[in-house]
Amino acid sequence: MTSTTHVPSPRTAGDTSRPTAARRRRRSKHRAVWEEAPGPVGFTGKVVLLAFIVLAVAFPLYTIMLTSVSTQADVTRSGGLVTVPGELSLAAYEQILSGGIVTRAALVSIGITAVGTLLSTVVSVLAAFGLSRPGSFGHRPLLFVLLITMFFGAGMIPTYLLVSALGLIDSYWALILPTAVSAFNVLILRSFFMGIDPAITDAARIDGAGDWRVLFQIVTPMSKAAIAVVALFYGVGYWNAFFNAMLYINDNAKWPLQLVLRSYVLQGATLPGSGTGQVDVATGAVTGLPVKMAVLVLAVVPILLVYPFVQRHFTKGVIFGAIKG
Amino acid sequence: MTYGSSQDVRGRGDADDPALATVAPAAASAAAGTAAPTLATGGPTAPPRRKVSWRARFARDRSLIIMTMPAVLLLLVFAYVPIAGNVVAWQDYSPFLGIADSQWVGWYNFQRLFVNAAFWHAVGNTLLITAFQLVFFFPIPIAMALLLNSVMTPRVRTTIQSIVYLPHFFSWVIVVTVFQQLFGGAGFVAQRLADLGYDGFDLMTNPDTFLVLITMQSVWKDAGWGMIIFLAALSTIDPALYEASVVDGADRWRRIWHITLPALRPVIILLLILRLGDALTVGFEQLILQRGAVGVDASEVLDTFVYYQGVINGDWSFAAAAGLLKGIVSLVLVVGANKLAHVFGEAGVYKRA
């Protein structure tokens, strides 16, 4: 021990192999024995970089949310997005949620997302299980049908012509059916199902359970995490989709939220005076930044609500998950 | 992937599954949250069975086939019928006449494409954006994964992960709107600069910096999420390798160079292949949202070209020809890139069953 300190820290007392008490204190219990602790420069650099990355994501969200609950006066004072909380008010939300085009668009988006996610998830779970037993009859050509769609897309024009030939223009089904099945999501589920120990399902079969029972009473309850992740992927896809709506929905009374966001916030169109007196032109509230940011937050909130429940599966998977190199 | 052997339904005894896209299981186990065995080798192997007639096998697996039917039907209608619908590329399609009655014009639409300056401009833009993002986007998730992997405290690490994954789940409308609020003419940065006496900052409408802008947007949205697959690969590296190298005197950087990066190589190559196969697909939603603000010159890519020629101008057959050409070239690129990976001894995206 090179240290000549008279009062050694209790943790290093008697530990003669450690160079200094300071060095010892910085050593994280998570760090492997062989790995040197970072030097002061490296450590600072790392913290600064990570802080920058986190702030780059968090700061825009913070200032947008803050602006949406600020008053127009605070916005004017700060000359745009508000960074320091002033007087808070929910007026912007009351305005967009009291009927009118934003409210309707939000309901449309919720409906499409709910129906679409349910349909897609059920169809994908069924298909994934149907293709998950090695050597089952016809699974190769059926799998092939699925896989081709990952490598060759038909293209926008023929798809549009089909949807319009089916009479789905201005129908909400046009926002669901063409994107209902994602081969990638089916493969995620399938690989998860195939990872289930066949002894479990075989035991059920010996006890007389058919394939449907095996799926619903054994495989599905065992695969909640995988199904949740796939449902999230589908749900986020439906909630975020705007281009299909742009293609297939001409009637702007049927627009989902993303299209409303695009027109009235991104492109700066003024909300039309439809609905229950939503537009208060006198105060200029509708074109005001708080209202625009409130629409933006409205489009983000469902994702923020669902995300915490599903994201732990990502991080858990990343830490413990295996990858086939 | 069962390339070319789809007709070969030998089902019965050989339970070996088509070796699937390795990317799917990788992402699956990363996403699905448990250490599920990956499927490249086909999961559990069925015991060898006696020859059973196809009728008996059909009867046995009838439920399984019924289960796949909804998905297969949806795909047949909404993926395969449109593939066949590409015949309009050889027609002078008119919505009033329909496919059946529209006139056939041979290769006329393709000939028009090859002499169309706007088309080649779109191709050039597409490739430029792909190349630029390959250099300035692709390495960022790798670097971030290495950085995050060096964070030792699990709680700090998972918190950072949760935050940086988040923008991946935002729509492009949201992302572009956020950037407009920050970097647009009336945005946050412009206001701060105006306070300092510098007027006229507007990144959103400047064609010269558009390439940088869309790359920044892509990084903000997807770089964090892009880490996920690299973090998964990093977590599988045997710590004994590091320990041994430390004993041999390797410092931090040599460990990264000789252990970490080689361990990431298959994943990097896999993602490069996927990116190459997608070379002609560059952020369609992202670009169509900003085409109006920044102008056609900087933002027109193949997909937006198809949209404007077809849906807006009503030149359906011409647009379909452009789209079909893009689809075929993309397919060739994926297959070619995969071959290339095999030549270099890497697994690639799919292998022959």
Name all domains of chain B by residue range, CATH numbers in brackets. 111-343 (1.10.3720.10)
Distance from CA of B107 to the nearest CA of A (A): 17
Residues A124 and A68 in one domain: no
Chain B residues within 8 A of A145 when measuring between CB atoms = 72, 75-76, 80
Whether A27 has its CB under 8 Å from any CB of chain B: the answer is no
pLDDT given at position B86? 93
> Closest residue of A to B58, CA-based?
A137
Whether B271 has its CB under 8 Å from any CB of chain A: the answer is no
- Classify residue A12: in a domain, yes or no: no
- Classify residue A183: in a domain, yes or no: yes
Average pLDDT of every residue of chain B: 82
- Classify residue A284: in a domain, yes or no: yes
3-state secondary structure A276-317: CCCCCCCCCCCCCHHHHHHHHHHHHHHHHHHHHHHHHHHHHH
Residues A53 and A159 in one domain: no
Nearest to B181 among A81, A299, A315 (CB): A81
pLDDT given at position B40? 42
The pLDDT tens digits for A28-75 are: 677 777 777 778 888 899 999 999 999 999 999 999 999 999 888 888
Are A213 and A201 spatial neighbours (Cβ–Cβ below 8 Å)? no
Interface size A-B, in CB pairs within 8 Å, comes to 412
pLDDT given at position A26? 55
- Classify residue A135: in a domain, yes or no: yes
Residues A62 and A146 in one domain: no
pLDDT surpasses 70 at B348: no
Query: What is the length of chain B?
Result: 353
The pLDDT tens digits for B22-42 are: 444 444 444 444 333 334 444
> Which of B:113-142 have CB within 8 Å of A?
none
pLDDT surpasses 90 at B328: yes
Helix B154-165 and helix A289-320, axial crossing angle in degrees, nearest 10 = 130
What tokens were used for A298? Answer: 């409205």
Q: Return the half-sphere exposure (C-beta side, CA atoms, 13 A cut-off) of residue A141.
A: 8
Successive 10-residue mean pLDDT values, chain A, 325 residues:
43 47 58 79 90 94 92 83 86 85 92 97 96 87 90 90 93 95 91 88 90 93 89 93 91 90 78 42 56 91 87 55 30
Q: What is the CATH number of the domain that holds A203?
A: 1.10.3720.10
Residues A123 and A231 in one domain: yes
Residues A84 and A104 in one domain: no
Whether B184 has its CB under 8 Å from any CB of chain A: the answer is no
Helix B23-32 and helix B224-235, axial crossing angle in degrees, nearest 10 = 90
The answer to whether the CB atoms of B169 and A303 lie below 8 A apart is yes
Residues A75 and A124 in one domain: no
pTM, two decimals, is 0.83
What tokens were used for A168? Answer: 């789905």
Residues A155 and A197 in one domain: yes
- Classify residue A15: in a domain, yes or no: no
Whether B201 has its CB under 8 Å from any CB of chain A: the answer is no
Q: How far apart are CA B313 and CA B171, in angstroms?
A: 27
Q: Which pLDDT band holds residue B56 (cuts at 50, 70, 90)? A: confident
Domain range enclosing A63: 42-89
Are B26 and A324 spatial neighbours (Cβ–Cβ below 8 Å)? yes
The neighbouring-strand residues paired with B104 are B91
Whether B43 has its CB under 8 Å from any CB of chain A: the answer is yes
The answer to whether the CB atoms of A152 and B45 lie below 8 A apart is no
Residues A117 and A240 in one domain: yes
pLDDT given at position B48? 60
What tokens were used for A95? Answer: 């305005």
